[in-house]
Amino acid sequence: RVFSYLTTIYSVTPEAVQIRFAAYKSEHSLLLTTGNLQRYLKRQEFPEAETVPPVPTLQAYILPPHRPTNYGHQLNHMSLSSQEFSTFTASDPEDLVFTVCIPLYHLPNLGRPVGEVSVDISMDLLERLCRFLYDDTEEFYILDSGGHVIFASDETLIGGSLARQWPAEMIRLTQEAGERGFYVDRTCCEDIRICKQISSATMDWYMVKSIPKSLIHRNTNRQLFTLLSAYILC
């Protein structure tokens, strides 16, 4: 029944790399690898500190991009494709995942969760969603409130902490902007910087972008040049 439930999650989240169910009281970990639909069951102890989610009761949370792990299971690599095998052995940025964690409770007792479902989702999903939001001349980041890089136009930065100071300053100014959750900085000499808050019950992310002013004015300058050329010709 549990594996059937995990398969249902995969059917509505096709970008999931693997789905894990941790049952604290029975001390079992169940893992479903979606590439080959292999099922793994393992006895596993859960320390008391690990069973307390870092969010309020009945709330899910998202872990920043990281290398996928097998959650202590011994995977059958013979059944994995070459691409799936590289996901667990290589270190390319595109192999990173972000994890949606869903604590489970035995109602009506809400004192402590009895388990948790962890869904590892491929970064390909964010790449597809963000590919139209920037070009090669722009800097683009999605950051969480802790400064972790969820996504970036520079793939080498994904999963780490951003060393540059101006995105953190943009986040601070956006927070001070209040309910609008949007801030534009035009004081930079060469760029216009934009920050937009992406907030929900499970995440507090910020989309930060730096656009060269020359790029913004390029189309306007082209139109002006065309009009002036036509005027002179006439």
At 43-61, the pLDDT tens digits run 998 988 888 998 888 899 9
Q: Return the pLDDT at 78.
A: 57
Question: Pairing state of beta strands 149-152 and 182-185?
Answer: unpaired
Which amino acid would we find at residue 233? L
Residue 74 CB contacts under 8 Å (≥ 6 apart), including other chains = 40
Q: Return the pLDDT at 225.
A: 85
pTM of the entire structure?
0.80
- pLDDT tens-place string over residues 98-147: 999 999 999 888 888 999 999 999 998 999 888 888 888 889 999 988 88
Q: What is the DSSP letter of 55?
A: S
Max CA distance (Å), the chain = 85
Q: Return the pLDDT at 91.
A: 46
Q: Return the pLDDT at 121.
A: 94
Contact 223, 214 (CB under 8 A): no
For residue 63, what are its two tokens?
A: 């872990």
Provide the CB-side half-sphere exposure for 43 (13 A, CA). Answer: 0
With b meaning 16 or more CB within 10 Å and e meaning fewer, what string describes 98-137?
bbbbbbeeeeeeeeebebbbbbbbbbebbeeebeeebeee
Q: Return the pLDDT at 90.
A: 47
- Give mean pLDDT in consecutive 10-residue pieces for the chain, a chain of 234 residues: 93 94 94 90 89 90 91 74 54 74 91 93 90 87 89 90 86 81 82 88 89 77 86 90
